[in-house]
Amino acid sequence: MELASNDDPKDREVIASSRHEPRLVTTQARDGSRFRPAPFETHTDEEMDILQKCVGRRSPILVPGGDQAK
């Protein structure tokens, strides 16, 4: 997955993860990027799957094949 800033399209970050790695996008760049690690607070794998279902995917943590499984 690639994140890009609307304010600066050259400010991009590629995310490759097998687990949840939340990110914040700030309005001001620091050290050349607007992207920061975010705290991960009490979201279960099941809750993450519910969010994935909202965009037509399934969590690869719970469903082998993840995006392909509906």
The 10s digit of each residue's pLDDT in 48-63 is 788 888 888 887 777 6
Residue 28 in any domain: the answer is yes
Cβ-contact 60, 69 below 8 angstroms? no
pLDDT at 69 over 50: no
Residue 69 in any domain: the answer is no
* Residues 34, 46: Cα–Cα separation, whole Å: 29
Residue 68 in any domain: the answer is no
pLDDT at 34: 85
pLDDT at 63: 67
The 10s digit of each residue's pLDDT in 14-67 is 877 666 667 777 888 888 888 888 776 777 878 878 888 888 888 777 766 555
Residue 37: domain span: 2-63
Domain count, the chain: 1
Residue 70 in any domain: the answer is no
More confident residue, 67 or 6: 6
Residue 53 in any domain: the answer is yes
